[in-house]
Structure 1
Amino acid sequence: MIKAVLFDLDGTLLNRDESVRRFVEDQYERLCTSFHLVRKEEYVKRFLELDNRGYVWKDNVYKQLTMEMGITKITWQELYEDYITEFYRYCVPFPHLKMVLEELRRNNLLLGIVTNGRGHFQMANIKALEIEEYFQTIVISEWEGIKKPHPKIFKRAMEKLNVSPSQCVFVGDHPRNDIEASQKIGMKTIWKKDCATYNVNTDNTIDDLAEIPFIISKFK
């Protein structure tokens, strides 16, 4: 009997790729007088390459970016601080996000988020998506002192919901950090496909969040 659904955040609920692109384009527009002869297209393209879909810390991204492009009128620290404080304004949800959360709540399922990242930053993004109220627990790696794929971070979320792995479904986009890790501790899994090509061993695969309620109903 499934009692709870746990979600990853970036790439699963938050359309991170689109959100980051919007932020970086606007950051250039706001601060371009500090970038000398750097073109917008060049700035955005290189940022996204260095960012590696969120798997490189932004302080390292900005250090490399300013060095490569000869940006001296503004420091990497100032650019990084701008990212930390302003990114939430550009958060884009995947389609049908609130509709799905509403339906899961109507079905009396407990909901949680398990995400890697920095605490206040991730909470600001969750609040920007206006979804905080749907979740009984939100577990963020910085605040827990441990991150996915370590099993303890999943177990902490389940402890807070008072459920066992066999009573949980995990929804995520990363083959190892989300799907493989949650399967290893006995959870059902739903892989939300992204633009990359992976061979993923999962219970179910979706393209759209709207598919989730029906899939969960089959688990019961």
Structure 2
Amino acid sequence: MLKAILFDMDDTLIDWGDFSGDWDQIEKPYIQRVYEYLCTLWQIDGGVEAYAKEYLSRSRAAWFQAHNNLVAPHVGRVIVETAIALGIPKEKLNMEACLKAYGWGLIKGVTLFPDVINILKLLREKHIKLGIITNAYQPMWMRDYELEQYGLLEFFPECRFSAADFGHLKPHPEIFKAALDCLNVTPDETVFIGDNPTADIAGAQAVGMKAILRVVRRMTPLISGLIVPDAAINTLDELPAILSDWYPGWDQ
């Protein structure tokens, strides 16, 4: 019996396909705001350029390590560690205040997939529980701003997991298990939908869920065919038919 569907967020619900920048450019205004806040606490030698260089170096190092051990990077931790490295005493730093200075917002060129709202409305009408698991660098309260702006937050009232908060990236099994526990469902009652073969498909299947690959322009190639999704879709409009095949009568 189908009881729940878990979604990845980026390139599954939110479309990054038309984004043409790079991550360093995305973060530039946020880094600037953090720097200005930190300057109210302590004098930073070298100006914003020195802070940005140290921050980006530490951010890249955190992501490089994360790909090996699945320990999730956290933007707040990188901000604080950068500040300490540049001489600001640890006791003067408050991560929450740093994150508020960093802020977050909608990214130019990033939009909501046009098929998302209708399928979420259908699933909610059929009393299917919904959740999100994202490998985000930011805590979930920051990504919630995007969900609210796109009109998605109301569909995910309880189960929203950011890897930054949880501590592990997908495909680590514990973040999937935590979402299942949050919704009080079992793996065989749950379907996961995501765009990343390793993080989303292999990760969900490893804990016993069926996993659907959302095929997008930026999709990571399947590795020698070793990762095989239970189904693949180009649009969420294809989802009801797949669910009817797996769970006859799910929409009754």
Same-fold call, TM > 0.5? Answer: yes
Q: Deviations along 1:63-106, whole A, 9 cap, x unmatched? A: xxxxxxxxxxxxxxxxxx9xx64542544011211001001111
CA distance in 1, matches of 2:129, 2:20: 30
Query: In the alignment, does 2:207 pair up with 1:185?
Result: yes
**SS of alignment partner, residue 127 of structure 2:** coil
Structure 2 equivalent of residue 114 of structure 1: 133
**SS of alignment partner, residue 6 of structure 2:** strand
Q: Identical aligned pairs, as a percentage?
A: 31
Counterpart AA for 1:209 = L
CA distance in 2, matches of 1:122, 1:212: 25
CA distance in 1, matches of 2:177, 2:121: 25
Specify the structure having the higher radius of gyration (Cα): 2
Structure 2 equivalent of residue 95 of structure 1: 114
Is the CA contact 2:104–2:142 (under 8 Å) kept in the aligned structure 1? no
Q: Deviations along 1:156-185, whole A, 9 cap, x unmatched? A: 111010000111000000000000010011
**SS of alignment partner, residue 139 of structure 1:** strand
CA distance in 1, matches of 2:143, 2:245: 31
Structure 2 equivalent of residue 33 of structure 1: none
Query: In the alignment, does 2:148 pair up with 1:127?
Result: yes
**SS of alignment partner, residue 228 of structure 2:** coil
Structure 1 equivalent of residue 182 of structure 2: 160
- Structure 1 stretches lacking a partner, 5+ long: 29-54, 60-80
Which moves more between the two structures, 5-14 or 193-202? 193-202
CA distance in 2, matches of 1:189, 1:89: 28
Which moves more between the two structures, 120-129 or 150-159? 120-129
Structure 1 equivalent of residue 229 of structure 2: 202
**SS of alignment partner, residue 88 of structure 1:** coil
Structure 1 pair 215/21, CA: closer, same or farther in 2 (3 Å)?
farther
Aligned length: 174
Structure 1 equivalent of residue 86 of structure 2: none
CA distance in 1, matches of 2:236, 2:22: 22
CA distance in 1, matches of 2:18, 2:103: 18
CA distance in 1, matches of 2:172, 2:186: 17
- Structure 2 stretches lacking a partner, 5+ long: 30-62, 65-72, 76-98, 248-252
TM-score (norm 2): 0.61
Is the CA contact 1:89–1:128 (under 8 Å) kept in the aligned structure 2? no
Structure 1 pair 20/180, CA: closer, same or farther in 2 (3 Å)?
same
CA distance in 2, matches of 1:4, 1:170: 9
